[in-house]
Amino acid sequence: MRRTEKEKSMPPGELLRQAENQLVSALCGIRENPDGWLPHTVYVEEEGDCPVYTMYRLLDIRKDGGCTLYNPQTGEHFTSRHLREINIEWLVTLWERYLELRPEKRAASVPETCPGKGTDIRVFVWYCGLTGRNVSDDRLVRMWKESPLRSTENPEDETLYEVECLTLDELAERINDDCFAYTEDYVRFIDMGHL
């Protein structure tokens, strides 16, 4: 599915929130848990002097997105947590594991734009001075393959720029680690299967 112009110009954080919402919605829509799916290991980033990732076992998911988490180190059960508290990388892992255990559900139950639907979603990141944000998907992929390149916006700029191609997990890691240049880079999500 091609992204709209509005989606192409959204900040990366907003696109990540959309992906998270789609994953949470898909997980809440599961009517029957396949054998061996839950409990499942997940990680939650929790507040402290610095970010702390705590391992939990996800025991159940409710239709409203609520869930029960078990901390094996402390033996505590938390019955009023929410799927959105789980790091997005682990929501993707949870969804992919569900698909592995219920392969007949792939075509029928996964939202068209949800990561993991047998698509090959890649995140393209490039410096805003290299080319405009409205560059076509085909041209952007060609630029990635031909990188490094000089700016198409400024013929006098002799700097060589890269177009990066990341997975969703790699983008999430970069955002979570505050290693993303929000004001300098453009981002595009492209389903490589549709090119």
pLDDT digits (tens, 9 = 90+) for 48-104: 777 788 999 999 999 999 999 999 999 999 999 999 999 988 998 898 888 888 755
Looking at the chain, the domain(s) classified CATH 2.30.30 span 36-109
Tell me what pLDDT residue 50 has: 78
Q: Give 36-109's CATH code, choosing from 2.60.40, 2.30.30, 1.20.1270, 2.40.128.
A: 2.30.30
Average pLDDT value for the chain: 80
Please give the Cα distance from 110 to 25 (Å, whole number).
10
Q: Which of 169, 175, 163 is nearest to 89 (CA)?
A: 169
> 42: which 2 tokens?
């997940």
Q: What is the pTM of this model?
A: 0.51
Ranges of the chain with pLDDT below 50: 1-4, 105-118
Q: What is the DSSP string of 56-80?
A: EEEEEE-TTSEEEEEETTTTEEEEE
